[in-house]
Amino acid sequence: MHVKKGDKVKVIAGKDKGKSGVIVRALPRDGKVVVEGVALYKRHLKGSAGKVGTIVERPRAIDASNVALISGAKIKSALDAK
């Protein structure tokens, strides 16, 4: 994969095109990444023992080919080599 956890990326395809964020989790076997604040979905959690249920937004994994590297270790090393 061309990106890893902690890299800052920009989404170049899909419904969140143009958004940027930091990679929270990389899934190299699936070729996907989880980007902070991108591809959010709502999860309805059931209440239990007198507690009220809630709606939580969670990030969904997107394909690694849909993100472009903005800053990370690869860019820093390429700049240092020049």
In 3D space, the residue among 56, 55, 69, 57 whose CA is nearest the CA of residue 26 turns out to be 69
Instruction: Write down the pLDDT at residue 52.
Output: 93
pTM comes to 0.78
Structural domain span for residue 37: 8-81
Q: Per the domain annotation, does 40 fall within a domain?
A: yes
CATH number, domain containing residue 51:
2.30.30.30
- Please tell me the distance from the alpha carbon of residue 9 to that of residue 37, in angstroms, as a whole number: 12
Specify the DSSP element, H or E, that contains 78. Answer: helix 73-81
- The answer, yes or no, to whether residue 79 has pLDDT greater than 70, is no
Residue 3 lies in a domain: no
pLDDT higher than threshold 90 for residue 1:
no
List, for residues 31-72, the tens digit of each pLDDT value.
999 999 999 999 999 999 889 999 999 999 999 999 999 986
Predicted pLDDT at 77: 63
78 pLDDT exceeds 80? no
